[in-house]
Amino acid sequence: MGADAWTWSYEGYDPGAERLREALCTLGNGRFATRGAASETPAGPAHYPGTYAAGCYNRLTSTVAGRTVENEDLVNLPNWLPLRYRILPADTPDPGPWLSPDHPQLTGHRRTLDLRRGTLTLRSVYEDGAGRRLTVTERRLVHMAEPQLAAQRLTFTAEGWSGAVEVVAGLDGDVRNSGVDRYRELADTHLTGWYTGIEDDGTFWLHCRTRTSGIRIALAARTRTAPRPRAGHARLTPRRASRTLTVPLRPGATATVDKTVALYTSRDRGVTDPLAAALGTVRDAPAVPRLLASHHRGWDRLWQQARLDVPEEAGRILRLHVFHVLQALSPHTARLDAGVPARGLHGEAYRGHVFWDELFVLPFLNLHFPEVSRSLLNYRHRRLPAAREAAREAGLAGAMYPWQSGSDGREETQRLHLNPRSGRWLPDHSRLQHHVGSAVAYNVWQYWQASGDTKFLHTKGAEMLLEIARFWAAKSDWDPALGRYRIRGVVGPDEYHDGYPGADRPGLDDNAYTNVTAAWVLSRALDLCRTLPEARRQQLFERLALAPDERQRWDDIAHRLHVPYHHGLISQFAGYGQLAELDWAGYRERYGDIRRLDRILEAEGDTVNRYQASKQADVLMLGYLFSPAELSGVFGQLGYRLDDDIWRATVDHYLHRTSHGSTLSALVHAWVLARVRRADAWTYCEEALTGDVADVQGGTTAEGIHLGAMAGTLDFVQRGLTGLETRDRALWLDPAPLPQLSKFGVRIRYRRHRDIDLRIRADRVTIAVPDSEHAAVQVRLRGQPFTVAPGTVRRLGLPGG
Ligand code: IFM
């Protein structure tokens, strides 16, 4: 792997690593993205050239384990990459073989992602036994300024022969969603109604639609060559369109083939005829060199807004994370109706669904691209009616957001999931992770605090927050024996435990994370009710039929929800302390990798429900969401003591009982340990950083990056290590740099101030606020107040540092 600070490269061709590299070399612009697959070959065991447009889903029915199941997937769209080529030597009538990285004539291969400019370059060298050498370089982009466009430039160089290259540029609609092996028993053909064509000017195109959601999709491609082609013809089949070009080539000279593609769907705003739009856009598109220049400028603007200066390897990986987060969620996303797909637009794992992972993503975006955060919250707001309906069907009030969300906000979580280790299809109760609602509420609040967008908070934000609070109130039952409210029958962030051993109903009672965040949501909802302007308050209360006694009940619950403890530490859920201890050392010795302990135990005929064993941070998530002061405040409000000793004991307990079967886990542990056990934080930080680049979860990155963990690592630097909070109209800072990450800088946008530079050194903080007409920025450094006027820089020693 190359070591330049702004490039990410892979030397040599390795079919076994190809799918992982494809995911990590994906190019996208927040509207659509395409995996970094070779353009010479269709999908096969080594290659999976997927293209996905944000929010473009389709639903199919399948039969698995004798049951009919419905699944909605982010659709793999027609492949626009195909570019095949072969040598036509002048001295023989026989064409050479079609070349690709899989061909034995390949003698060199390098794939380079240029993060600064947003391009992928694939360089392949082929040599035949007769001394002919062909070097092919493909530079590829998915345009960051013209989000319907993508382009490829192939450059050919001949050595030891002359003649021509024959190039076939294609659009391939014969694709399926077959990128995830575990889903192979599920229906995967989402496209239908294909037709293709070619225009007089040589532009060829493909049109199709999704089977049940009826989204129309059109791609149009234009080719240009230099020198001019000697010959050319088109080939159309119902599902494929291509153009073959023969381009002369002399030794030492180069020939180029440019392919520019426009992609539209009927979901695009202002588009009634995607094909007409694609044809018009590709016809008017500038030549590839100019497209490259405007694409670079598009990326330049983004890098200005998301600047993160972290030295060395950690900085290089974090830059890759910024790159992928912005390819999945960019300012273009702000114009769409789309949520945060857990695996980016980079693969088909989790079917492109939207989980609670936005909890790890929006806090990063809030401080750079608040308009993107707002649009992602709008995605949730548009689905508020569906969340209300789900609550109603469950016999509850308020809004019950789905654990997995797709096109219309209904619950998309599968009823059955496959344990690949045992081959058994098992009931899936993960839909009981109702804490996703608290994540939406938390993001509403965080977004408002960082952006100052009171209009949003008082309208859509308030509706969501109040309805989620209402759901928690409806879900809380008074237990007279305990003298507390309880929330029963849920699954917490640790997805291992989905019920009590031997119980006849799924779900657990009083998951501490769920209850504490529910109390927090209820309190913020009440704060909002108190501070809304009178007219708006009346209007909202009337619309939601929110009576004073309901608010009183919220207040009561927010003070009296149960949080279970055992042995003086916070229990993950009621009864957790009675579960058996697992023989961690024995399982590690026997299996090596025990990240998916649930699958191992199930395959052994046992169940993880019997053990004090978590897949990922659960109780410790509380230390991720809340600063120590805020967390002990919420516990205090609930009538519990949470001091440093209890928190430390709690952290230690779960640290030794977590298998980290999710990429989110290492991130949360790094964040929490940075405050509690600094010496141990770096191990988790490294694991979080390398989660995708080293494919820590053993093969999952090939199916899509882990967007929550990637964005979370950025936020770890931005908020975790700086202790940055945006509350009470001030920037609160409480830096906790790690010895291995003690010097860094971030550029943030805070309310009206753009480009605030924040630099941390082990013993001091520097804050630079660019000149503007806005008021000075209020800063509280470890509680001490400072102001930083626009156009000034303040260097502050760390109090108590
Ligand atoms: O939301 C996560 C969950 O916390 C762990 N399993 C994967 C989901 C999607 O990323």
Is residue 72 among the annotated active site residues? no
> Does the CB atom of residue 350 touch ligand 1 within 6 A?
yes
Q: Supply the pLDDT for residue 800.
A: 73
In this structure, what is the dihedral angle of CA atoms 525, 531, 536, 537, given to the nearest 10 degrees? 60
Q: Supply the pLDDT for residue 1.
A: 46
Q: Report the candidate in 677, 708, 675 with the shortest Cα–Cα distance to residue 691.
A: 708
Atom of ligand 1 nearest to the CA of 355: 1
Q: Supply the pLDDT for residue 231.
A: 85
Kindly give the pairing relationship between strand 784-788 and strand 777-781: antiparallel
**How far is it, in rounded angstroms, from Cα 611 to Cα 456?**
44
260-286: burial string, b at 16+ Cβ within 10 Å, e else: bbbbbbbbbeebeebbebbbebbeebe
**How far is it, in rounded angstroms, from Cα 455 to Cα 39?**
47
The pTM of the full predicted model, rounded to 2 decimals, is 0.98
pLDDT, the chain, mean = 97
In DSSP terms, 738 is beta-bridged to 741
- CA-nearest residue, atom 10 of ligand 1: 342
Ligand 1 pocket check: which of 180, 340, 343, 350 to mutate, most ligand atoms within 8 Å of Cβ?
A: 350
Q: Which residue has the tokens 């390819």?
A: 327
Three-state secondary structure of 438-453? HHHHHHHHHHHHHHCC
Q: Report the candidate in 58, 272, 26, 308 with the shortest Cα–Cα distance to residue 142.
A: 26
Ligand 1 pocket check: which of 658, 662, 668, 692 to mutate, most ligand atoms within 8 Å of Cβ?
A: 662
In this structure, what is the dihedral angle of CA atoms 373, 375, 379, 381, given to the nearest 10 degrees? 90
Q: How far, in Å, from the CA of 434 to the mean position of ligand 1?
A: 13
**How far is it, in rounded angstroms, from Cα 697 to Cα 342?**
15
pLDDT in tens, 45-89: 999 999 999 999 999 999 988 899 999 999 999 999 999 999 999
> Does the CB atom of residue 342 touch ligand 1 within 6 A?
yes
Radius of gyration of the chain from its Cα atoms, rounded to whole angstroms: 27
Q: Supply the pLDDT for residue 2.
A: 47
Atom of ligand 1 nearest to the CA of 357: 1
Token pair, residue 583, equals 């023989």
Is residue 191 a contact partner of residue 250, using CB atoms and an 8 Å limit? no
Q: How far, in Å, from the CA of 431 to the mean position of ligand 1?
A: 12
Q: Supply the pLDDT for residue 801.
A: 57
Kindly give the pairing relationship between strand 216-226 and strand 484-487: unpaired
**How far is it, in rounded angstroms, from Cα 257 to Cα 166?**
10
Kindly give the pairing relationship between strand 777-781 and strand 730-733: parallel
Question: Is residue 227 reached through a cis peptide bond, with omega within 30 degrees of 0 on the bond before it?
Answer: yes
Q: How far, in Å, from the CA of 192 to the mean position of ligand 1?
A: 31
**How far is it, in rounded angstroms, from Cα 699 to Cα 182?**
12
In this structure, what is the dihedral angle of CA atoms 458, 464, 466, 471, given to the nearest 10 degrees? 180
> Does the CB atom of residue 662 touch ligand 1 within 6 A?
yes
Q: How far, in Å, from the CA of 551 to the mean position of ligand 1?
A: 33
pLDDT in tens, 84-120: 999 999 999 999 999 999 999 999 999 999 999 999 9
What domains are defined for the chain?
7-303 (2.70.98.40), 306-699+707-720 (1.50.10.10), 721-801 (2.60.420.10)
Residues 6+ apart with CB under 8 A from 795: 764, 765, 766
**How far is it, in rounded angstroms, from Cα 538 to Cα 277?**
46
Q: Which of 138, 495, 602, 725 is catalytic?
A: 495
Is residue 173 a contact partner of residue 49, using CB atoms and an 8 Å limit? no
In this structure, what is the dihedral angle of CA atoms 524, 525, 526, 530, given to the nearest 10 degrees? 100
Three-state secondary structure of 313-381? HHHHHHHHHHHHHHHHCCCCHHHCCCCCECCCCCCCHHHHCECCCHHHHHHHHHCCCHHHHHHHHHHHH
**Residue 357: which H helix or E strand, with range?**
none
Q: Where are the beta strands (DSSP E) in 666-728?
A: 725-727
> Does the CB atom of residue 708 touch ligand 1 within 6 A?
yes
The ranges of the chain with pLDDT < 50 are 1-2
Atom of ligand 1 nearest to the CA of 662: 5
> Does the CB atom of residue 700 touch ligand 1 within 6 A?
no
Helix axes 370-382 and 358-366, enclosed angle (nearest 10) = 140
Q: Supply the pLDDT for residue 762.
A: 81
Token pair, residue 246, equals 């023969």
DSSP string, 127-172: E-TTS-EEEEEEEEEE-SSSTTEEEEEEEEEEES--EEEEEEEEEE
> Does the CB atom of residue 712 touch ligand 1 within 6 A?
no
Atom of ligand 1 nearest to the CA of 706: 10
Is residue 779 a contact partner of residue 786, using CB atoms and an 8 Å limit? yes
How far is it between the farthest Cα atoms of the chain? 94
- CA-nearest residue, atom 6 of ligand 1: 662
> Does the CB atom of residue 621 touch ligand 1 within 6 A?
no
Is residue 348 a contact partner of residue 177, using CB atoms and an 8 Å limit? yes
Q: Supply the pLDDT for residue 799.
A: 84
